[in-house]
Amino acid sequence: MRVVVSGGGTGGHIYPAVALVKYIRQVDPKAEFLYIGTDRGLESKIVPELGIPFKTVKIQGFRRKLSLDNFKTIHLFVKAIAKSKEILKEFQPDIVIGTGGYVCAPVVYGAHQLGIATMIHEQNSVPGLTNKFLARYVDKIGICFEEAAEFFPKEKVSYTGNPRAQEIASEPKNQLLTEQFGLTKALPTALIFGGSQGALRINEATMELLPKVPNKPYQVLYVTGKRYYDDVMKKFPNEISHVKIVPFISNMQQILPNVSVVVGRAGATSLAEITALGLPSILIPSPNVTNDHQTKNAMSLVQAKAANMIKDQELTGDNLLNALDEILLSPDTCEKMAIASQTLGVPDASERLYQLIKQVIA
């Protein structure tokens, strides 16, 4: 099997693609892969480091407002289709899979024009522009939220879940909270993070609640994001009991199985990880995303009683602390939310996508 994968821009598009490649390599060691991205996106750093062959096309996204830049985008798109076809003819894939981000538009569309089998994978409850455009040209569409189905041709849709879920579900519990962060195994742990760069509102609320944590029967692992770490440490230069402050966690997949509740944004990959592990969560959807899709993502968990949601503009240290107390001070509530979360998880997502791939190329 020869597979081309394309997706980029954010980790939410890249990590599911990478997780799928890893899984297929396990079940089909003879499979060959090529990842097509851009030379400026996050994928250009992540993918080559994992030993996945990587090639690039030059492309940019459309502006949502009228802009002369969109004429340049159209020009680049046409050139990127031609470049993609050139790469695809050379690699001769059995299937081309797009996982989102504008880079996969010329790659998947070019594959369609060449008569190559195609798929897209939509991680969010509301699809982005690229996947909406590609839906009419691909053979199959994998989704992670049932709500996404209404945006696509019904006959093409399969509920697969997010491959990142299967990758994270296989991680065992370990001693890293103690060894890596100096926290104790004796207390429940709340993980608070706003993504690799951090989130201002989450940081502001967390800094308000930190002085009250030493009085609580739980502990906090607080990831500030790299851009905010120095500012946070200026406010808290001395160690706080039951609190560990770090700028970034590179091995998040190994840390998550050891925490009791997660506080963070409602990106698709994060929610796949949370539900795969059956973790309760307090979700603060980002207001700065297309079609407010993080709120819609979060509502899937809230309606299932697997998560509580606080709107970004309503977030304060007090209501975040109250939300943590509601879960961590009540073992019954925590357990019920964990069970609800686990029922939403798709721990065999990679296998489902793999079977869909085999169906498409059969």
Q: Is 84 annotated as a binding residue?
A: no
What's the count of helices (H) and strands (E) in the chain, helices before strands?
Answer: 15, 13
Confirm or deny that 249 is annotated as ligand binding: yes
Q: Is 294 annotated as a binding residue?
A: yes
How crowded is the C-beta side of 89, counted as CA atoms within 13 Å? 9
Residues 6+ apart with CB under 8 A from 222: 192, 193, 206, 210, 243, 244, 245, 246
Is 11 a known ligand-binding residue?
A: yes
Q: At what angle do helices 317-328 and 331-344 cross, to 10 degrees?
A: 90
Distance between alpha carbon 94 and the CA centroid of its chain, in Å?
26
Contact 16, 98 (CB under 8 A): no
DSSP state of 310: -
Do 145 and 165 contact (CB within 8 A), yes or no? no
Residue carrying the six token digits 């996106």: 41
196 belongs to an annotated ligand binding site: yes
Asked whether residue 26 is marked as a ligand-binding residue, the answer is no
Q: Known binding site for UDP-N-acetyl-alpha-D-glucosamine: residues?
A: 10-12, 124, 196, 249, 294
Known binding-site positions: 10-12, 124, 196, 249, 294
